[in-house]
């Protein structure tokens, strides 16, 4: 990204400010003027503060090359100021009184106040989870520092959304924040295996029944279930996931697949239909280096078609770099019921402001502001699409192309 112009003007400004500081201090020392010396010191502190703020913003921009310049600046802007929803009485929905749900193509979203949710959990799921439309996903390539993890968890609790643990797993910082957690587990993780390699149900039950874990997803790769292998392995997988649901006390259980492994969804759907055992959800995840969300839309649409073909009650969750309301509604239009935004929340963390340096509280404020501002923009776009013919809504096309 090119910051040459902004850095040039900022550099000139800092040089002039430094010369002014030096002139005041020298003048104060020569003429024994205390006020000049104090003024120079005060300007020096101001220069240090301004430079720190500028570096924070540039680091937020330069540290996330997979987002466009426009998306980066939009995320930073929405992270700075919390814009309230439409001027409605407390607790009243922006959609007006009496509305309980909104239909986005084939996806039905429940309205609670000024938030949108979908319920995940079918069959013998005794603890279905009401999931926010927009949730926080963690990077699989880099683990945030402990204060950032704590800030994400606290912000998720304030915004009534969930945090997907990703490869980070269940760590103390996420627990201290008090948010709802979607636990991504590795089915071959040694900690939950006996010495002979069998699954340790006692240890898993102790972890899975903890109240802060709301859903459980297992990361899969299509290479582990190649087409030349009999579907017996997929049958065993479905049985294993159903057993996980029972051990967890009936919490929603599903799988996570990358965009490249979307072909496995159709095979899973056939196995579920044949065994009359259903996954509660399937998460479709963008590749870590994928800048374009178009591939995610196509993969979500393919997963939805496979699920609809077998008439399954399984939900679809999208995970990727969804930064703006148009992205969110497009992925919903392609068949997702909820989504995780990954890098935009990392940008919001980087854009947090502090008096001298960023603190956990300032990070919480930035992430919360981004989430709530994005949800407000999403609702405005939904109401615009409902009020006007779709051809007149220029911001986004919600309907998916089958």
Q: What is the DSSP string of 217-248?
A: EEE--GGGG-TTS-THHHHHHHHHHHHHHHHT
pLDDT of residue 118: 92
Average pLDDT over residues 338-356: 83
- Domain tally for the chain? 2
Give the model's pLDDT for residue 99. 63
**Residues 137 and 173 grouped into a single domain:** yes
Q: Is the pLDDT of residue 301 over 70?
A: yes
The residue from 62, 77, 104 where one domain ends is: 62
Q: Which of 13-17, 134-138, 238-242 has the lowest mean pLDDT?
A: 13-17
- pLDDT band of 84, cuts 50, 70, 90: low
Q: Is residue 397 part of a domain?
A: no
Q: Tell me, what CATH number does 74's domain have?
A: 3.20.20.70
Count how many Cα atoms sit within 13 Å of the Cα of residue 364 in the half-sphere of its side chain: 18
- Whether residue 151 is found in the same domain as residue 47: no
In a domain, 400, yes or no: no
As a whole number, mean pLDDT of residues 210-223 equals 89
Query: Mean pLDDT of all residues in the chain?
Result: 80
- Do 198 and 250 belong together in one domain? yes
> Does 151 share its domain with 29?
no
What integer pLDDT is reported at residue 97 of this predicted model? 54
In a shared domain, residues 137 and 22: no
| Contact (Cβ atoms closer than 8 angstroms) between residue 60 and residue 346 | no
| 239 close to 187: Cβ distance less than 8 angstroms | no
Compute the average pLDDT of residues 280-287: 91
What's the confidence (pLDDT) of residue 86? 45
- The residues that bridge with 209 in the sheet, in sequence order, are none
What pLDDT score was predicted for residue 393?
Answer: 43
Residue with tokens 């636990």: 183
Domain-embedded: residue 322: yes
Asked if residue 399 is part of any domain, the answer here is no
In the Cβ-directed half-sphere of 205, how many Cα atoms lie within 13 Å? 7
16 and 45 together in one domain: yes
Residue 402: inside a domain, yes or no? Answer: no
Closest CA to 222 of 251, 255, 188: 255
Positive or negative, the CA dihedral 377, 396, 106, 315 is: negative
Is residue 84 classed as helix, strand or coil in its secondary structure? coil
For residues 91 and 191, membership in a common domain is answered with: yes
Cα-based distances in Å from 346 to 141, 151, 161, 363? 12, 11, 16, 10
Is the per-residue pLDDT at 213 higher than 90?
A: yes
Cβ atoms within 10 Å of 266's Cβ, excluding its own: 16
Judged against a pLDDT cut of 50, whether residue 401 lies above it is answered with no
Using the predicted structure, report yes or no on whether residue 91 has a pLDDT greater than 70: no
Q: Where a domain ends, among 40, 62, 84?
A: 62
Looking at the structure, tell me whether residues 158 and 39 fall in a common domain: no
- Look at residues 319, 188, 184, 204 and name the one whose alpha carbon lies nearest to residue 262: 319
95 and 112 housed in the same domain: yes
Looking at 62, 85, 104, which one is the last position of a domain?
A: 62
Tell whether the model's pLDDT for residue 81 goes beyond 90. Answer: no
Q: Does residue 79 share a domain with residue 21?
A: no
Average pLDDT of the residues in 335-347 = 92
Residue 381: pLDDT band with limits 50, 70, 90: confident
Q: What is the 3-state secondary structure (H, E, C) of 344-383?
A: HHHHHHHCCCCCCCCCHHHHHHHHHHHHHHHHHHHHHHHH
pLDDT reading at 353 higher than 90: no
Say yes or no to pLDDT of 117 above 80.
yes
Half-sphere exposure (CA, 13 Å, Cβ side) for 113? 10
How confident is residue 297, by pLDDT bands cut at 50, 70 and 90?
very high
In this prediction, residues 330-336 reach a mean pLDDT of: 92
Judge if 166 and 311 occupy the same domain. Answer: yes
Residue 101 belongs to a domain: yes
What range defines the domain where residue 12 resides? 4-62
pLDDT value, residue 72: 79
In degrees rounded to 5, what are phi and psi of residue 315?
-90, 155
Query: Is 20 inside a domain boundary?
Result: yes
pLDDT band at 272 (very low <50, low <70, confident <90, very high): very high
Distance of alpha carbon 129 from alpha carbon 230, whole angstroms? 33
| Tens digit of each residue's pLDDT (9 = 90 or more) over 188-201 | 777 888 888 888 89
According to DSSP, the β-strands at 107-112 and 101-104 are: antiparallel
Of 177 and 88, the structure prediction assigns the larger pLDDT to 177
* Predicted local confidence at residue 359, as pLDDT: 85
What confidence score (pLDDT) does residue 2 get? 42
Q: Higher pLDDT residue, 134 or 13? A: 134
**What's the whole-number mean pLDDT along residues 64-86?**
70
**Is the pLDDT at 90 greater than 70, yes or no?**
no
Contact 247/203 with Cβ under 8 angstroms? no
Identify whether residues 33 and 178 lie together within a single domain. no
Better-scored residue on pLDDT, 71 or 219: 219
Percent of the chain residues past pLDDT 90, beyond the cut: 36
pLDDT of residue 111: 78
Query: In degrees to the nearest 10, what's the CA dihedral of 61, 65, 69, 73?
Result: -30
């Amino acid at each position: 990204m090119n910051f040459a112009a902004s850095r040039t003007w900022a550099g000139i400004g800092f040089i002039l400010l430094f010369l002014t500081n030096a002139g005041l201090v020298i003048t104060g020392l020569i003429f024994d003027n205390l006020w000049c010396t104090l003024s120079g010191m005060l300007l020096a502190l101001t220069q240090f503060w301004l430079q720190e703020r500028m570096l924070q913003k540039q680091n937020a921009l330069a540290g996330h090359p997979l987002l466009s310049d426009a998306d980066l600046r939009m995320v930073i802007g929405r992270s700075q100021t919390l814009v309230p929803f439409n001027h409605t009485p407390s607790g009243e929905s922006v959609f007006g009184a009496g509305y309980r749900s909104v239909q986005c193509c084939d996806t039905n979203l429940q309205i609670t106040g000024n938030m949108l949710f979908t319920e995940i959990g079918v069959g013998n799921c005794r603890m279905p989870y009401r999931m926010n439309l927009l949730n926080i996903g963690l990077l699989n390539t880099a683990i945030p520092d402990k204060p950032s993890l704590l800030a994400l968890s606290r912000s998720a609790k304030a915004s009534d959304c969930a945090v997907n643990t990703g490869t980070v797993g269940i760590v103390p910082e996420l627990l201290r924040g008090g948010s709802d957690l979607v636990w991504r587990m590795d089915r071959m993780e040694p900690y939950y295996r006996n010495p002979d390699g069998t699954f340790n149900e006692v240890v898993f039950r102790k972890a899975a029944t903890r109240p802060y874990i709301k859903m459980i997803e297992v990361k899969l790769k299509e290479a582990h279930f190649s087409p030349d292998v009999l579907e017996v392995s997929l049958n065993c997988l479905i049985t294993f996931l159903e057993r996980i649901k029972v051990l967890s006390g009936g919490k929603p259980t599903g799988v996570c697949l990358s965009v490249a492994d979307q072909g496995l969804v159709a095979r899973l759907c056939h196995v579920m239909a044949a065994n009359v055992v259903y996954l509660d959800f399937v998460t479709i995840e963008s590749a870590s280096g994928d800048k374009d969300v178009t591939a995610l839309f196509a993969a979500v649409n393919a997963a939805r078609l496979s699920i609809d073909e077998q008439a399954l009650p399984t939900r679809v969750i999208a995970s990727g770099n969804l930064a703006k309301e148009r992205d969110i509604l497009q992925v919903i239009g392609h068949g997702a019921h909820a989504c995780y935004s990954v890098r935009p929340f990392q940008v919001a963390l980087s854009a947090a402001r502090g008096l001298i340096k960023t603190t956990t509280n300032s990070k919480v404020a930035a992430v919360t502001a981004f989430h709530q501002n994005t949800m407000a923009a999403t609702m405005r776009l939904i109401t615009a699409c409902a009020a006007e013919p779709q051809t007149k809504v220029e911001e986004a096309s919600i309907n998916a192309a089958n």
